[in-house]
Structure 1
Amino acid sequence: MHIMEGFLPIEHAVGWTVAAAPFVAYGTWSIKKRVATHPEQRILLGVAAAFSFVLSALKLPSLTGSCSHPTGTGLGGLLFGPAAMAPIGAVVLLFQALLLAHGGLTTLGANVFSMAIVGPIVAYAVFCSARRVNAAMAVAVFLAAALGDLATYVTTAAQLAWAFPDASGGFSASFVKFSGVFALTQIPLAISEGLLTVLIFNALTRFNPDELRALHPSDNAKVRP
């Protein structure tokens, strides 16, 4: 992740675009509703988008047709819920494809699905589960960001394995190969992203505590240090 331009067969590129589209549409609606109710949260939305853009632009060569990098989508998923990160991630990936030649237009749907849909969903689920068992905030944020990052790459490995199954072992053998190569670079990156996300989250908690509590009015414990 990102999967480069033109690497996926056309039917896979179209299929992942169709799969990602409803999430992006619903996320766009949820952001519009949130901003209409809480216009002061636009700044935090901008922070989440910038964090994801910068981190996911720091790429390392991984394997043919893809690369390894932090995703940065865990922070936005924790702040606004996973739905909001689908359109934010789509915009981030679109800009990177057009301005940095990072990813591509034909693979945009696949990249959005892995980085802006699966990653934030896993991050949010891990965060909520950790808080339910009374894990410290820093631990919950770290686990959410790190595992959300890893979930993105597991999804990318599955996408590549589905598009390019092994001649003898099929999808399973191909998935093991792709995920094994990703693991060499992605596990250290996931740990680093988890630590950095904790630092950013702590800074936001210190300087914007009221806005953070307003993000989850039904469960203020989620954003309480």
Structure 2
Amino acid sequence: MHIAEGFLPPGHAVAWTVAAAPFVVHGARQVVKLAKDKPESRLLLAAAGAFTFVLSAIKLPSVTGSSSHATGAGIGAILFRPPVMAFLATIVLIFQAVLLAHGGLTTLGANVFAMGIVGPWAAYATYRALRGIRVGETVAIFVAVAVANIATYATTSVQLALAFPDPATGLVGAFAKFAGLFAVTQVPLAITEGILAVLLFRTLARIATRELTMLGFRADTRVKEANHV
């Protein structure tokens, strides 16, 4: 999700920034509203932001010569809903661009769209669908976070393919090329991120039961499932 500074053509960079901006503004309003209406949730918000920052800051080399990252945004989307993560991911990506040279300011819109919008919505939709058919909570979290990871990188692959279509096979060929570069390391990384998200949730289930219940998670089911995973 960290497209490098200056890598996208100016028109594409501007277009992705315009596309991401409404989600980020809405997310900022939701964060302010959540902190005001449920001040007890501030600690969990901070934990979700820190989890996203730490995981997405770890740059793993790929055997294909590319690199892969976890996103960390899926669990936050499940806890607080996707709009909140659009704002938190933006803050995370700005800090990483400025302090760690991961991503860039010109490509911020594209990176936010992939990691802060598509990924969280994929996680939340998957989680709600699985819970709707009575899949266990921790299993639903694992699958949802893994799906969010893959969805983020699929979006990045689309962004790169749109910017640099293959001369022979066009957009489809370029997407296959970029997605293939990421896939070797991204699939196991998505599984690993899903496991880490479950471990984080198990920890929160023990130390922040009241806060999770306030957010709509059933304490009895949560604790029972967390203790058996």
TM-score, normalised via structure 2 length: 0.93
CA contact (8 A) 2:209 2:219 kept: no
The answer for the alignment partner of 2:28 in structure 1 is: 28
The answer for the alignment partner of 1:128 in structure 2 is: 128
CA contact (8 A) 1:27 1:84 kept: yes
Structure 2 counterpart SS, 1:103: coil
What is the percentage of aligned positions where both structures have the same residue? 55
Please give the residue correspondences for 1:111-190 in structure 2 after superposition, counting only pairs within 5 Å: 111-190=111-190
Measure, in 2, the Cα distance between the counterparts of 1:61 and 1:15: 29
Post-superposition Cα deviations, 1:56-112, rounded to whole Å, max 9, x if no partner, equal 001123578x73110000111011000000010000000000000010000000000
Post-superposition Cα deviations, 1:130-186, rounded to whole Å, max 9, x if no partner, equal 111111112101001100000000000000000000001100000011111110010
What RMSD in Å do the two structures reach over aligned CA positions? 1.6
Please give the residue correspondences for 1:1-225 in structure 2 after superposition, counting only pairs within 5 Å: 1-62=1-62, 67-216=67-216, 220=218, 224=222, 225=225
Post-superposition Cα deviations, 1:183-204, rounded to whole Å, max 9, x if no partner, equal 0010010000000100000110
Change (3 A) 1:148 1:206: same
Return the letter of the residue paired with 2:87.
Answer: P
Return the letter of the residue paired with 2:130.
Answer: A
Return the letter of the residue paired with 1:199.
Answer: L
Residues matched between the structures, number? 222
Unaligned runs of at least 5 residues, structure 1: none
Structure 1 counterpart SS, 2:101: coil
TM-score, normalised via structure 1 length: 0.95
Return the letter of the residue paired with 1:26.
Answer: H
Structure 2 counterpart SS, 1:119: helix
Report the Cα offset of residue 220 of structure 1.
4.0
Change (3 A) 1:48 1:173: same
